[in-house]
Amino acid sequence: MDNKNLLYFGVIIALLIAVAAPFIASSNPDGLESAFFGIFGAKEIHGSELDEDAAGAAEEQVQEITGNSFSFGSPFPDYSIEGMEKAGEALAIAIGTLLVLGIALGLGRVFSRSD
């Protein structure tokens, strides 16, 4: 198998994983945000119910302590495209995967050129 075919095969596998991820991933992930809300009492550590009022209060408390109120909008908040449900999640992850692969390929080409 030559390098070009290997690259195409890798991209296809990455996109298959990206498209399948929203359908097989847990709907109750145990990530950093979940741990934050658990520590501040807005959510049970092992539960999935988020108390929105307590979550807002926790964020305000941390902003007061740190003095950091920085926030920004995301083109794909929560890895999804609004209004498209699971298909929007799969599309957002596929777009992100293609962007990262494109950036990696571009950087690889730039840095592999020998003069």
pLDDT tens, 54-90? 888 888 888 888 888 777 788 888 788 888 988 999 9
111 against 79, higher pLDDT: 111
The answer to whether residue 17 scores a pLDDT higher than 90 is yes
The residue-averaged pLDDT of 45-49 equals: 69
CA–centroid distance for 94 within its chain: 11
The answer to whether residue 49 scores a pLDDT higher than 70 is yes
Q: CA-CA distance, 57 to 64, in Å (whole number)? A: 11
The answer to whether residue 2 scores a pLDDT higher than 80 is yes
- Kindly report the average pLDDT of the chain as a whole number: 84
Q: CA-CA distance, 92 to 78, in Å (whole number)? A: 9
Tell me, what's the pLDDT at 29? 59
State pTM to two decimals: 0.67
